[in-house]
Structure 1
């Protein structure tokens, strides 16, 4: 039962992040053409993931593998993001989450902050979950959840639009479900919530 609730929380979190960003930015057209930096990040993550379907050995070569990381293969802290475990279903879920979070993020933050939060969050999350919680694994979900949770926390700090705060609270509730379910993605979300506390607060258009 708890596992099913955690799975639902994953999907709801991705949708809620999009709604946080659109409400905060006052933008009703989130499906506009992505910025170049958004498209580049999306392609960097998902193109290797598609190639992996044809070359399955990429997964073991690039995934987070804590004993190998301790042995000096530090690049796995980054490359684990661009391959996906869970087969086709895992790829489709992670692509869905990444797409929604990035489309929302580009309404809210600059490309520099999006890229920094995404990749730094991925590395920190891998460092935290790797030793004990999930020594072996791959996927973009933790990095996407870091970015999404950061936007939610930042929107709450901005104290701007009530609707944005409401959806940000939904994100926090999804994180709480992950914590209760003892799912390691809660670690990534916690990293994101802390990252979102860094100023400036509010979406880019509000700061111009």
Structure 2
């Protein structure tokens, strides 16, 4: 199983996850149309999260040693460089184009996730997703690389788990099922990002059970 994707098939499936997550997120925060909430000022927590990923990712373009020091390398991880499981999220292995795409997607998903979950929960989901994805791709399906795409897709997919536990809206439940199905399809085409999507949905369901976002949907739209 690879983290480099399955070409256009993976790209299409990534878009499906993001569109369905945007639909769920918009409904959860009280907006009526996909993406409408994305044009408001982003929450501070989302901005900080984005900067923590963007700064080293952009720095590596002019200082390639940053990528070498932080990327996920299964051999070096097994040689006690455990930090690479987490730090690989802050650098990118897809060149300039891949870096731009990953940062743009995070810039879309992070504000929506903070409004849906609240700042602390969104960050915890992102971090937990990266650690789990890093463990999968370091030990279960060893694959060198770097990037925030796995954690970002998992964060988006966490909305699916949330609405399954809390919502009776057929529209968002159908979108939730679509996200899970897309995760399965990614696994079928041998793309490890499918594991990230399924992990995100499970983490979302677990968090919604033990620590659900407080307040009505409009209240969550004002979360930091």
- 8 A Cα contact 2:136 2:142, kept in partner: no
Equivalent in the alignment of 1:96: 104
The count of corresponding residues between Structure 1 and Structure 2 is 207
Instruction: Tell me by how many angstroms 1:203 deviates.
Output: 5.4
Mapping 1:188-207, distance limit 5 Å: 188-200=196-208, 204-206=214-216
Instruction: Tell me by how many angstroms 1:78 deviates.
Output: 1.3
Provide Cα deviations, 1:27-46, integer angstroms capped at 9, x if missing partner: 25412111111110011011
* Unmatched segments (≥5 aa) in structure 1: none
Distance 1:200 1:189 in 2: 16
Instruction: Tell me by how many angstroms 1:98 deviates.
Output: 1.1
* Backbone CA RMSD of aligned residues: 2.0
* Unmatched segments (≥5 aa) in structure 2: 1-5, 220-224
- Single out whichever of 107-116 and 92-101 deviates more from structure 2: 92-101
TM-score by length of 1: 0.90
Distance 1:68 1:61 in 2: 10
Provide Cα deviations, 1:72-102, integer angstroms capped at 9, x if missing partner: 1111111100000110121122112212211
Provide Cα deviations, 1:84-124, integer angstroms capped at 9, x if missing partner: 01101211221122122112212211111111110111011
TM-score by length of 2: 0.84
2:55 to 47, 65, 72: 47
Following superposition, which runs of at least 4 residues in structure 1 exceed 4 angstroms of deviation? Answer: 201-204
Distance 1:48 1:156 in 2: 36
Provide Cα deviations, 1:13-69, integer angstroms capped at 9, x if missing partner: 123212211112212541211111111001101111111111112111100011111
1:107 matched to 2:112: no
